[in-house]
Amino acid sequence: MTTPARRRLAAVATLAVLAVLAAVPLVLGSYASTTLARILAFALLASSLDLLVGITGLPSLGHAAYAGAGAYAAGWVAIHATRSAPLTLVAAVAAGALVAVVAGSVAVRARGVFFLMLTLAIGEIVEQLAQSWHSVTGGSDGLYSIPATELAGISLGDVRGFTWFVLGVFVAAMAVLHRLVASPLGATLRGIRDNEARMRALGYRTYHYKLAAFVIAGAFAGLAGGLLAAQQRLVTPADLGFATSGPVLLAVIIGGEATPWGPCLGAAIVVVLRDVLGPSLGGHGSLVLGAVFVAVVFLLPGGLARIRNRLHAGGTHR
């Protein structure tokens, strides 16, 4: 298939999926809509992590810290200042980016397993901070009774409007992320993933680029956290720690790192297995999730989004 034809097909498919998602609040009940909003926020978080894991080659195990910082910031602004949506989300993005600047300037100096362990440690430190900074975070109780988000003076208290709002933010953020991946900066980050030593030999100051990737990923994670805070109306320290970071990395790997929609697909699977099917499985959702993870790693290395390549590899040409 020629490239323009393929691009047109991809655009049509994307629009069709978006239309179906937009119809969910109209057709299905509020439980399905709430789940969709959760999935979309989690998908944005997974896509932001993929910028590090898949594109730049930095496997972070503490990505929830930046989403959590964004969630606390959005929640705090909604309780103490304004519940107007652009402002709460701007605060969330700023908080995620700010924590990422501090953490990244340390973490990005390491690579491989050391980077993984550093990000994990930083995530736990941020969680501890949230536990002990009682006056701002509410300590182990968390931030609760976060008021419903408002957009242009209209309260998004009902599920339908709120789900569309999350869908809108998700689409806008994903559009920006996709352009970034296709940009010269995206190519530079892929170069660092493939061969950092060669990039340095070509004159690229890789530290700056890796830090930039870390901060951008942190900002988008903060945005996802802001959406989660608005949806849950509650933020607890557990949202910042490994209990959240682990599943996000799982979502990226199950869905397919460095693929346009793989992390979103993985996020949907993780949320459905853990939150929707989990209760009916007697709390064994994580067990099923683990089994799915093992199965994907063995049967579809590269993730579900690459299933077409696997099928084609066994078939005719290419």
Partner 1 sequence: MTAVLACTGLARTFGALRAVDGVDLALPAGARHALIGPNGAGKSTLFQLLTGGLRPSAGRVCLDGRDVTRMSDARRARLGVGQTFQHSSLFLSMTAADNVALAAERTGGRPWSPVPRRNPALARRVDQLLGDVDLLGRRGVPVSSLSHGECRQLEVAVALATAPRVLLLDEPAAGLSPAETARLAALIQRLPADITLLFVEHDLDLVFRLATRVTVLHLGKVLLSGTPDEVRDSAEVQEAYLGTGRRADLFLPPDPVADPAPDPAAARDPATGPA
Applying CB under 8 A, does 21 fall inside the site for partner 1? no
Please tell me the distance from the alpha carbon of residue 235 to that of residue 213, in angstroms, as a whole number: 26
Size of the site for partner 1 (CB under 8 A): 27
Binding mask 205-244 for partner 1 (x = CB under 8 A): xx--x--x---x----------------------------
Nearer Cβ to partner 1, position 185 or 276? 185
Touching partner 1, residues 165-194 (CB under 8 A): 179-180, 182-188, 190-191, 193-194
Please tell me the distance from the alpha carbon of residue 245 to that of residue 249, in angstroms, as a whole number: 6
- Minimum CB distance to partner 1, residue 188 (Å): 5
Number of H helices, E strands in the chain: 14, 2
- Minimum CB distance to partner 1, residue 217 (Å): 13
Q: Which of 86, 51, 34, 53 is nearest to 226 (CA)?
A: 86
Strand locations in the chain (E): 150-151, 154-155
Applying CB under 8 A, does 202 fall inside the site for partner 1? yes
SS3 content of the chain, % helix, strand, coil (to 5): 80, 0, 20
Which of residues 15, 200, 281, 309 is near partner 1 by CB under 8 A? Answer: 200
Applying CB under 8 A, does 282 fall inside the site for partner 1? no
Residue with tokens 């992590």: 49
Whether the Cβ atoms of residue 229 and residue 92 lie closer than 8 Å to each other: yes
Nearer Cβ to partner 1, position 174 or 267? 174
Applying CB under 8 A, does 204 fall inside the site for partner 1? yes
The two three-digit tokens of residue 230, written as one number: 């608005």
Nearer Cβ to partner 1, position 184 or 282? 184
Does an H or E element contain 269, and which?
Answer: helix 262-271
Whether the Cβ atoms of residue 266 and residue 44 lie closer than 8 Å to each other: no
Applying CB under 8 A, does 111 fall inside the site for partner 1? no
Nearer Cβ to partner 1, position 193 or 306? 193
Nearer Cβ to partner 1, position 48 or 149? 48
Please tell me the distance from the alpha carbon of residue 263 to that of residue 275, in angstroms, as a whole number: 17
- Minimum CB distance to partner 1, residue 182 (Å): 4
Applying CB under 8 A, does 201 fall inside the site for partner 1? yes
What phi-psi label fits residue 57: left (phi over 0), alpha (psi between -120 and 50 degrees) or beta? left
Binding residues vs partner 1 (CB under 8 A): 179-180, 182-188, 190-191, 193-195, 197-206, 209, 212, 216
